[in-house]
Amino acid sequence: MSEAGPPRLEVRDIEKSFPGVRALSGVSYDVHAGEVHALMGENGAGKSTLIKIMSGVVQPDKGAILIDGLESRLAGPDDARRAGIATIYQELLLFPELTVAENIFLGHAPKGRFGRIDLSAMRERARALIASLDIDELDADETVGRLSVGNRQRVEILRALSHDARVLIMDEPTAALTETDVRRLFDIVRRLRARGVGVVYISHRMDEIFEISDRVTVLRDGAFIGTRQTRETNSGELVEMMVGRRIEALFPKVEAPLGEAVLEARDLVAKPMTRGVSVTVRAGEIVGLAGLVGSGRSELAQTLFGVTPAESGEIRLNGELVSIRSPAEGRALGVAYVPEDRGTQGLVRAMSVKHNFSLAGLNRLTWLGFIDRAAELKLARDAVKQFDVKTSSLDEAAGRLSGGNQQKIVLGKWLANKPRLLILDEPTRGIDVGAKAEIHRLMGVLVREGVAILMISSELPEVLGMSDRVLVMREGRIVAELPRAEATPSAVGAAMMGDLSGRGQAA
Amino acid sequence: MSAAASPVQILRRIASQEAMLAVAIIGLAIVVGFVNPRFLSANNLSDLLLGNAYIAVAAIGMSMVIVSGNIDISVGALIGVLATVSGSLAVAGYPIAFAWGAPLVIGIAVMAAQGAVVAYLGIPSIVVTLGMWSILKGGLISVTGGRWITDLPNSFHLADVEVFGVLPMPVLIMVGATILAAIWMRFWPGGRAIYAAGGNPEAARLCGVSPRRTTIFVFAAHGFFAGIAALMFATQLRVIQSTTPAGLELVVITASVVGGVSILGGVGTVIGSTLAAVLLAEIASALVFINVSPYWTHAVQGSLILATVIADILRRRRRLGAA
Amino acid sequence: MNRYLKRHETILAAILIVALIGLGYLNDQFLTLDNLLNQGRLMTEIGLIALPMTFVIVTGGIDLSVGAIVGLCAIVLGVAWKNWGLPLPLAVVVALGVGALAGFCNGLVITRLKAPPLIVTIATLALYRGLAEGISKARSVRGYPDWFYVLGQGEVFGVPTQLWILGACIVIAGVALDRTSFGRTLYAIGANETAARFSALAVDRAKLIVYTLSGLMSGLSAFVLVSRVTTTRSDMGLGYELDVIAAVVLGGASIFGGAGTVWGTVIGLVMIQLLKNGLALTGVKGDATIIVIGVVLIASVLIASSLERRRE
């Protein structure tokens, strides 16, 4: 039960903007000692920015941070640590070659004479910490690199405790865990709560929220939507808060004649994230692929494109059985993949706009190995006009353009190849409304030309607004297929979160 | 959950790089001694150790540098320069303590400067140390004009000293320095910080370890050990040549890497590098005694370092993939 | 990026001209045709290797084993001819083959094991140098037939033979890097290897090619060197990697990859050679000139990185 008194950690009316993006506007949140307060929201809702502010990595533009009721400033991660706030990120920050005990106590190990580290005291304290959370199989002398993901996460939690953390922020802690590890994690969280630690629990997974949290707050588009006592709400209400009811005319659905099946994939397996997936996409069709972060959607796309070839299963393109073992093979077969992370996967930021446009199609622009510069220039000029890319010149470094224009370049470079199957991975993430609309309009043009589109998106309105069919993925498998008419926010949301047991109903 | 190490951990300790090196040293000695018993003569073994102890000392600093995630290829040239400085000071009549102390100070200064450039200007250590190598090498030639240093005063020869009439100084220094450095790296926060900064700089920062300060410190320590190595090298000779010992930095790096220091950073001990230095010297000598042309020495050393590097990379990839 | 580089190259060319004039003023032997052509002859060995090294550095890699490969190929050339009795032309081909193979092995380990090029080439540096020493056993090979020396010591239309070859290689390399899809692939790899892979570029094959070329040109350089100095020794090529990398970095290539041109490397190469020559003519001993190379290397990286910082 949470204690009375001021919250351990509170943030009020936080505003934070980055160039071109309003990450948080007027968000308030708090966590008391001895409570688990969940934080929910879609990708881009502002959760990670809020975490960074609470852990001192980023400073808010406006708003207050209060620790135990006193207004404070967190100028950096060290301040947060001293204030007793510890964060456990998804990518664990551990030293794989050092032992568990060393990882826990690095930087603040118990010292003996002459400043020498007291190794036995350190190992004793590590064992005590391990025992306090009733963890059986963690050995203080084991090398962290040899531990499973679940155990490594436990080491991170122990490290936080070794700093006397009174607020523990956990970012999607169960994303990479097995069922058993998740159970164990909950045990630990309950113990921490009993000890008076306040836990900020970020997750998408409805069943977890209802099992472990006392309160839940929902963010959407950087704004605070509401806070509920967990036992007084249900999953339907939460989904509605996360997604909102607006499926606006932002996505004018274009009707296109559906043709033959362009892609027929059966039982694709590619460890560890693709566990037997079958997908069909017809010419002129937009199939939306929804799912939580970590459900395996990008991995599926990369398997279809050839980055991580399938280990078993078959792929047919226009009826023909094919094998796609590399992106070059994928491209040759008419598959195009616009990646999720345009900065690191989609564009070469240091290269010019012109060179980026030709990068995926160089093989068609060369004669005896020489690049036809005139053709390349024409390609770039036409593309800039067709996609309305705003750039001061074709020689401008692509990295200097806005997010929306960068995305158009990535799209354009693949469309230059006239693909028959276009796989889009979060095509409108992080770009402004105007560019979003243009990309959606473009998709409409493409399907009318007979292109088959597989669209991965974490933005429910986009998925629901654009798709002819919606597939939902969870943990490497397709768990639901909904034709347009039946794809409602609650239906899709429920399938995504796996709340099939009705557990999230009000008591 | 026991206080003692589990059987698996004991097994791993037995199979550790350091243990395998010790076994290799003894095993090789036995095999070669069998083929040619003169290999095991006291004279030969002591020459072997005395003549190469300085490489082990230089490898102590090099190991620290590599563990921290950097590299240095200027140490061979630096040792040559420091040896000449030391000898010149002795010949010029300065007090012997000064002639012995100057290389240490200069070594620290030169290396720390490189460390600062790497840490604060973000220049890759390979480039900085490559440039410094040529500056030192060329500098030595132009300053000495190719002259060798002769007429060294008798008191200069530190390496000839035998402590308690029995223990030769070079061996004492090698063993002593190794043990002290190993203890420091194992038990002192500063030493652990090197492993942290080399293993995961991001995480290190979060733990309060500054990778930049660690880099400068590690290079400074490397300069110190290079100075000691230069002393050991210089004080053994009757003349000090005007050239830097060819390929010295490569042997030192080989000793560190074969000793278990991973070039990817964060792993390795100075005990390993000292054992490896002894093994490398033993191999060089062994080749002579089994009638293999000593010209193959570097080829053997080269294959050793390549094999170790490949094995290390495979091991790391496997571990990253498994987890 | 290209505009910045062109500016870098023009500045470099301007400095070069100033240096030429200055050195010519200080020393009347300097600006003679004889001397300049001779310098051209001397810089060929480094120049040939600097071309593929530009490719390697553009991809964000590095190859420290080039000097050792030169030594190894020189030895193989001599041994194949003298000891194995192969006809000399065939021995040359074998030597070039060994160089390409050595480079190929570098590339194989780097691409298959995804190992850092720095580490791999330091290790192969040790191995290849060791092999050279072992095979040669410090004997040198002499007594090549007269026609063999045409490459290293002869002239065609008054210009040293090897300079023609260097010139041809420069043109081929420059055009390849600038205008072919292969060259574009190299820039993409250096700037963002992940995006290059996602753009369906043949990343591993390109890397394998550049390291193999590096080895092959080291072999060619060995051939020219042996022909010029009329002998084969196992310590040939010692320290070449310094000169080569200095030329490439001075020429504007970023050590982190993604930028650099062959033309810049050539200017860097010429500047370094002239610097060495100028120093030698004013009485500085040969060995000491490497100080200057080291200073040039560090200085150009420092300047490049502070300019980089200023641009951001």
Which runs of consecutive H residues, i.e. helices, occur in chain C?
2-26, 33-58, 66-82, 88-112, 117-136, 150-153, 161-179, 181-191, 193-198, 203-229, 240-250, 262-281, 289-311
* For range B188-209, the mean pLDDT: 90
d(CA C43, CA C225): 10
Residue of C114, C125, C285 lying closest to B141 (CB–CB): C285
Taking Cα atoms as reference points, which of B227, B249, B222 lies closest to residue B68?
Answer: B222
Chain A residues with beta carbon closer than 8 angstroms to that of B67: none
- B188 interaction partners in chain A (CB closer than 8 Å): 115-117
- pLDDT at position B236: 80
Please state the rounded mean pLDDT for residues C7-11. Answer: 78
C76 or A174, which is more confident?
C76
What's the number of CA atoms in the CB half-sphere (13 Å) around residue A347? Answer: 26
Contact criterion met (CB below 8 Å) for A1 and A34: yes
pLDDT, one tens digit per residue, over B220-250 is: 999 999 999 999 988 887 788 777 777 898 9
- Are C278 and C23 in contact by the 8 Å Cβ rule? The answer is yes
CB < 8 Å to A397, chain C: 1
From chain B, pick out residues whose CB is under 8 angstroms from the CB of C120: 309
Asked if the structure places residue C174 within a domain, the reply is yes
A442: closest CA among A383, A381, A375?
A383
Contact B266 A97 (CB under 8 A): yes
The two three-digit tokens of residue C92, written as one number: 């040359």
Sheet (strand A335-338) strand order: A335-338, A421-425, A452-456, A286-291, A469-474, A477-483
Cβ–Cβ gap A359/C199 under 8 Å: yes
Among C3, C187, C198, the residue with its CB nearest the CB of A327 is C198
Which two tokens mark A49?
Answer: 């920015």
For C38-60, what is the mean pLDDT? 94
CA torsion angle for C153, C156, C158, C162 (degrees, to 10)? -50
B147 DSSP 8-state letter: P
Q: Which residues of C touch A413 (CB under 8 A)?
A: 199
- C6–chain A Cβ distance below 8 A for any pair: no
Identify the pLDDT of residue A244: 66
Q: C104-113: per-residue pLDDT in tens? A: 999 999 999 9
Instruction: Give the residues across from A454 on adjacent strands.
Output: A287, A423
Residues of chain A with pLDDT under 70: 1-4, 20, 43-44, 243-252, 498-507
Q: Which of A110, A59, A345, A207 is nearest to C195 (CA)?
A: A345
- Nearest residue, CB atoms, B127 vs list C238, C255, C295: C255
Q: Which chains have at least 3 CB atom pairs separated by less than 8 Å from chain A?
A: B, C
pLDDT tens per residue, range C84-121 = 888 889 999 999 999 999 999 999 999 999 899 998 99
Task: Using an 8 Å CB-CB cutoff, list chain A residues near C181.
Answer: 362-363, 365-366, 369-371
Spatial strand order of the sheet with A21-31 comes to A70-72, A62-67, A9-18, A21-31, A223-229, A215-220, A36-40, A198-202, A167-171, A85-88
Q: Does residue C195 register a pLDDT over 80?
A: yes
Is the model more confident about B288 or about A125? A125
Dist. CA B237–CA B51, nearest whole Å: 10
Say which CATH number the domain at C188 has. 1.10.3470
Nearest residue in A to C201, CA atom: A328
Assess whether pLDDT exceeds 90 at residue C70: yes
C258 part of contact set with chain A, CB < 8 Å: yes
Q: Provide the whole-model pTM.
A: 0.87
* CA distances from residue B231 to A211, B78, B159, B236, B277 in whole angstroms, order as listed: 68, 12, 8, 8, 18
Number of domains present in the structure of chain C: 1
pLDDT (0 to 100) of residue A505 = 38
* Cβ–Cβ below 8 Å for C134 and B293: yes
**Most confident stretch, A204-208, C148-152, C191-195, C289-293:** C191-195
| CATH (residue range B7-320) | 1.10.3470
Comparison of pLDDT for C69 and A74, the residue scoring more: C69
Q: Which of C126, C294, C305 minimises the CB distance to B138?
A: C294
C246 domain-assigned = yes
Percentage of the residues of chain B whose pLDDT score is greater than 70:
93
Of B246, B250, B313, the CB nearest to C113: B313
Chain B 238-257, CB below 8 Å of chain C: which residues?
246-247, 250, 253-254, 257
∠ CA A413-A418-A422 to the nearest 5 degrees?
Answer: 80
Domain extent for C59: 2-22+52-311
Cβ–Cβ of C113/B264 closer than 8 Å?
no
Q: Which of C7, C186, C194, C198 to mutate to test the interface with A (most CBs of A within 10 A)?
A: C198
3-class DSSP state of B93:
coil
Contacts of A136 in chain B (CB under 8 A): 1
Find the CB nearest B203 among A95, A139, A142.
A95
Assigned domain for C115 exists: yes
Of C181, C194, C198, the CB nearest to A362: C181
Chain C interface, mutation test: which of B130, B244, B257, B303, most C Cβ atoms within 10 Å? Answer: B130
What's the pLDDT score for residue C289? 80
Q: Is residue C151 a part of any domain in this protein? A: yes
Whether B302 and C245 lie within 8 Å, measured CB to CB: no
CB contact under 8 A, A366 and C180: yes
Beta strands in chain B (DSSP E): 162-163, 167-168
